[in-house]
Amino acid sequence: MSVATGAYGVSFGALAVTAGLDVWQTCVLSLVMFTGGSQFAFIGVIASGGLAAAPSAIASAALLGVRNVAYAVRMNPVVGLSWRHRLAAAQFTIDESTAVALAHTDLRARRIGFWVTGLGTYLIWNVATLGGALLGDVLGDVRAYGLDAAAAAAFLALLWPRLRSRQAVAAGTAAAVAAASLTPWLVPGMPVLIAALVAILIGSFNWHSARGEEPQ
Amino acid sequence: MTMWTAILLAAVVCVASKLIGYLVPTVRLERGRSARVIDLLTVAFLGALVAVQTVGSGMAVTIDARLPALMVAGTLLWLRASFVIVVIGAATVAALLRLLGWSA
């Protein structure tokens, strides 16, 4: 898991610089925002439309950050009893730490799993981000090295393991088609934000759910 | 809005959403419709980002070296290659095509 985190972090750093952020701005995203999905979405939207797309970039990051609310609710009884523990835990409440904690059944093991994974990921993610940002800065000419294509490939690689259900495939495809076809008609950034609408529509009406799965 | 304002605003919103779950543990996003929408949000955003990053150039749709590079990335993923190989593979294909002078 730590090797994968390092690879994602280096890619994030390099792609953020490619998108037009400086090394400091890239590092602040990893240090403060610290939630991979939101960070990738933020720089992806900025890459497509620059500073003019900033409102869409903020909205995309915020929408993808909503899942951390659900994680925090589940981790609330796990991280420790005092308020100090909970406040400290908030920043480390992400996909990885929640997944590792929930993989254990015993409370003590869950707590250790959460903290070790959360802190470990934070450390690796930030060191890798800095490395990637410096690398992207050195490379300079983005297109000659195919870094714009690398960004597309990175998003596809992040998407791939999530395409397990028919509903996920439908949502991913519909959002991609909608974003590409709306690109000439909307200000940069907005086509990506349409993805939220696609997710809300498919999720709310439970379209393309697996056969036999009861809509809740 | 400057880039710094945008970055700090987005970061604060994301940190706040982590805190909300601890401060208001009665928030329930775990089951049913809202959980399904939250799950699909990630997939939909990534799908849209793949599309915009592959064929978008500002407000125009352009087919260039990025498209064959993405197809190579898809093939590598299908062959269960690791993240690093997929990203480097796509970058190499795009860089080589451009070096050979193929469509920008």
Residue A212: is its pLDDT beyond 60? no
Q: What is the mean pLDDT of residues A179-183?
A: 94
What are the residues facing B57 on neighbouring strands?
B60
Per-residue pLDDT reduced to its tens digit, B52-70: 999 998 888 999 999 999 9
Residue A160: DSSP 8-state: G
Residue B24's pLDDT is: 79
Residue A213: is its pLDDT beyond 60? no
Residue B30: pLDDT band (50, 70, 90) is: low
Burial class (CB in 10 A: 0-12, 13-18, 19+), A83: exposed
Residue A93's pLDDT is: 95
Residue A216: is its pLDDT beyond 60? no
- The beta-carbon neighbor of B94 closest among A37, A146, A171 is A146
Cβ contact A13:A133 at 8 Å: yes
Residue B31: is its pLDDT beyond 80? no
Domain boundaries defined on chain A? 2-161, 163-216
Amino acid at residue number A189: G
B73 sits in which H/E element: helix B66-78
Q: What is the mean pLDDT of residues A176-202?
A: 92
- Is the reported ipTM for this assembly greater than 0.95? no
Q: Which of B2, B4, B8, B17 to mutate to test the interface with A (most CBs of A within 10 A)?
A: B17
Mean pLDDT, chain A, whole residue set: 90
Q: Using the beta-carbon criterion (under 8 Å), do B41 and A65 form an inter-chain contact?
A: no
Cβ contact A38:A62 at 8 Å: yes
Q: Which of B9, B24, B52 to mutate to test the interface with A (most CBs of A within 10 A)?
A: B52
Residue B36's pLDDT is: 86
Burial class (CB in 10 A: 0-12, 13-18, 19+), B71: middle
Q: What is the mean pLDDT of residues B32-56?
A: 90
Mean pLDDT, chain B, whole residue set: 90
Residue A188: pLDDT band (50, 70, 90) is: confident
Residue A215's pLDDT is: 45
Q: Using the beta-carbon criterion (under 8 Å), do B56 and A188 form an inter-chain contact?
A: yes
Per-residue pLDDT reduced to its tens digit, A24-52: 999 999 999 999 999 999 999 999 889 99
Please, what is the angle between helix A54-65 and helix B32-55, to 10°? Answer: 140
Per-residue pLDDT reduced to its tens digit, B84-98: 999 999 999 999 999
Q: Which residues of A touch B83 (CB under 8 A)?
A: 4, 7-8, 11, 154, 157
> In chain A, which ranges are continuous DSSP H helix?
2-19, 23-28, 36-49, 54-65, 67-75, 83-90, 95-103, 107-139, 147-159, 166-182, 190-205
Residue B35: is its pLDDT beyond 90? no
Residue A132's pLDDT is: 95
Residue A104: is its pLDDT beyond 60? yes
Any CB–CB contact under 8 A between B49 and chain A?
A: yes
Residue B104: pLDDT band (50, 70, 90) is: low
Helix (H, G, I), strand (E, B) or coil at B30: coil
Residue A2's pLDDT is: 76
Per-residue pLDDT reduced to its tens digit, A60-72: 999 999 889 989 9
Q: What is the mean pLDDT of residues A135-142?
A: 86
Separation CA B21–CA B15 (nearest Å): 11
